[in-house]
Protein backbone atom coordinates (compact mmCIF):
# COMPACT_ATOMS: atom_id res chain seq x y z
CA UNK A 1 0.00 0.00 0.00
CA UNK A 2 1.39 3.39 -1.00
CA UNK A 3 1.57 6.38 1.33
CA UNK A 4 -1.16 8.13 -0.67
CA UNK A 5 -3.43 5.10 -0.20
CA UNK A 6 -2.79 5.23 3.55
CA UNK A 7 -3.63 8.94 3.53
CA UNK A 8 -6.98 8.25 1.81
CA UNK A 9 -7.78 5.51 4.34
CA UNK A 10 -6.89 7.88 7.21
CA UNK A 11 -8.98 10.67 5.69
CA UNK A 12 -12.01 8.41 5.19
CA UNK A 13 -11.58 6.97 8.68
CA UNK A 14 -11.35 10.43 10.21
CA UNK A 15 -14.47 11.63 8.41
CA UNK A 16 -16.40 8.48 9.39
CA UNK A 17 -15.22 8.71 13.01
CA UNK A 18 -16.19 12.37 13.23
CA UNK A 19 -19.63 11.77 11.71
CA UNK A 20 -20.22 8.90 14.17
CA UNK A 21 -19.45 10.99 17.27
CA UNK A 22 -20.81 14.37 16.09
CA UNK A 23 -24.15 15.71 17.19
CA UNK A 24 -26.87 15.41 14.54
CA UNK A 25 -26.68 19.09 13.58
CA UNK A 26 -22.87 19.13 13.50
CA UNK A 27 -22.17 16.41 10.95
CA UNK A 28 -20.09 17.37 7.93
CA UNK A 29 -23.04 17.06 5.56
CA UNK A 30 -25.07 19.49 7.67
CA UNK A 31 -22.15 21.93 7.73
CA UNK A 32 -21.90 21.76 3.93
CA UNK A 33 -25.62 22.48 3.68
CA UNK A 34 -25.25 25.48 5.99
CA UNK A 35 -22.36 26.78 3.91
CA UNK A 36 -24.38 26.30 0.72
CA UNK A 37 -27.30 28.28 2.16
CA UNK A 38 -25.11 31.20 3.24
CA UNK A 39 -22.53 31.17 0.39
CA UNK A 40 -23.94 29.08 -2.48
CA UNK A 41 -21.52 30.20 -5.21
CA UNK A 42 -18.37 29.84 -3.10
CA UNK A 43 -19.45 26.45 -1.71
CA UNK A 44 -20.43 25.02 -5.09
CA UNK A 45 -17.20 26.37 -6.63
CA UNK A 46 -15.02 24.75 -3.97
CA UNK A 47 -16.82 21.41 -4.21
CA UNK A 48 -16.61 21.49 -8.02
CA UNK A 49 -12.93 22.54 -8.03
CA UNK A 50 -12.06 19.79 -5.53
CA UNK A 51 -13.95 17.14 -7.49
CA UNK A 52 -12.38 18.19 -10.80
CA UNK A 53 -8.92 18.27 -9.18
CA UNK A 54 -9.35 14.74 -7.80
CA UNK A 55 -10.47 13.22 -11.10
CA UNK A 56 -7.93 15.16 -13.18
CA UNK A 57 -10.56 17.26 -14.93
CA UNK A 58 -8.55 20.49 -14.72
CA UNK A 59 -5.22 20.90 -16.53
CA UNK A 60 -2.36 21.34 -14.02
CA UNK A 61 -1.47 24.80 -15.36
CA UNK A 62 -4.86 26.21 -14.23
CA UNK A 63 -5.80 23.88 -11.34
CA UNK A 64 -5.94 26.13 -8.25
CA UNK A 65 -5.12 23.28 -5.84
CA UNK A 66 -2.13 22.09 -7.87
CA UNK A 67 -0.86 25.65 -8.28
CA UNK A 68 -1.24 26.40 -4.56
CA UNK A 69 0.75 23.34 -3.49
CA UNK A 70 3.37 23.92 -6.22
CA UNK A 71 3.89 27.48 -4.96
CA UNK A 72 4.15 26.20 -1.38
CA UNK A 73 6.75 23.57 -2.33
CA UNK A 74 8.68 26.20 -4.31
CA UNK A 75 8.68 28.52 -1.30
CA UNK A 76 9.85 25.74 1.01
CA UNK A 77 12.59 24.78 -1.45
CA UNK A 78 13.81 28.39 -1.64
CA UNK A 79 13.84 28.71 2.14
CA UNK A 80 15.66 25.38 2.49
CA UNK A 81 18.25 26.33 -0.14
CA UNK A 82 18.73 29.72 1.51
CA UNK A 83 19.26 28.16 4.94
CA UNK A 84 21.56 25.52 3.43
CA UNK A 85 23.62 28.25 1.71
CA UNK A 86 23.94 30.18 4.98
CA UNK A 87 25.01 27.20 7.08
CA UNK A 88 28.42 26.52 5.49
CA UNK A 89 29.48 30.13 6.10
CA UNK A 90 28.70 29.86 9.77
CA UNK A 91 30.40 26.45 10.01
CA UNK A 92 33.51 27.73 8.27
CA UNK A 93 33.53 30.81 10.48
CA UNK A 94 33.15 28.68 13.59
CA UNK A 95 36.02 26.42 12.48
CA UNK A 96 38.31 29.37 11.74
CA UNK A 97 37.49 31.00 15.06
CA UNK A 98 38.24 27.74 16.89
CA UNK A 99 41.62 27.37 15.12
CA UNK A 100 42.68 30.92 15.95
CA UNK A 101 41.43 30.65 19.53
CA UNK A 102 43.44 27.47 20.18
10-55 tens-digit pLDDT: 999 999 999 999 998 899 999 999 999 999 999 999 999 999 999 9
**Torsion on CA atoms 4, 7, 13, 15, rounded to nearest 10:** -110
What is the arithmetic mean of pLDDT over 73-79?
Answer: 90
Closest CA to 15 of 3, 27, 6: 27
- Whole-number pLDDT of residue 66: 93
Please name the helix (run of DSSP H) or strand (run of DSSP E) that holds residue 97, with its range, or none.
Answer: helix 64-101
DSSP 27: S
- Whole-number pLDDT of residue 25: 87
- The residue among 10 and 97 whose pLDDT is bigger is 10
b/e sequence 29-48, b meaning 16+ C-beta within 10 Å: eeeeeeeeeeeeeebeeeee
pLDDT category at 82 given cuts 50, 70, 90 is confident
Amino acid sequence: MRNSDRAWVALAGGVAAYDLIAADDEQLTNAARRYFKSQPIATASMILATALHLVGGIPPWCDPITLTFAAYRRLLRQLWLRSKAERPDSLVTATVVRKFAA
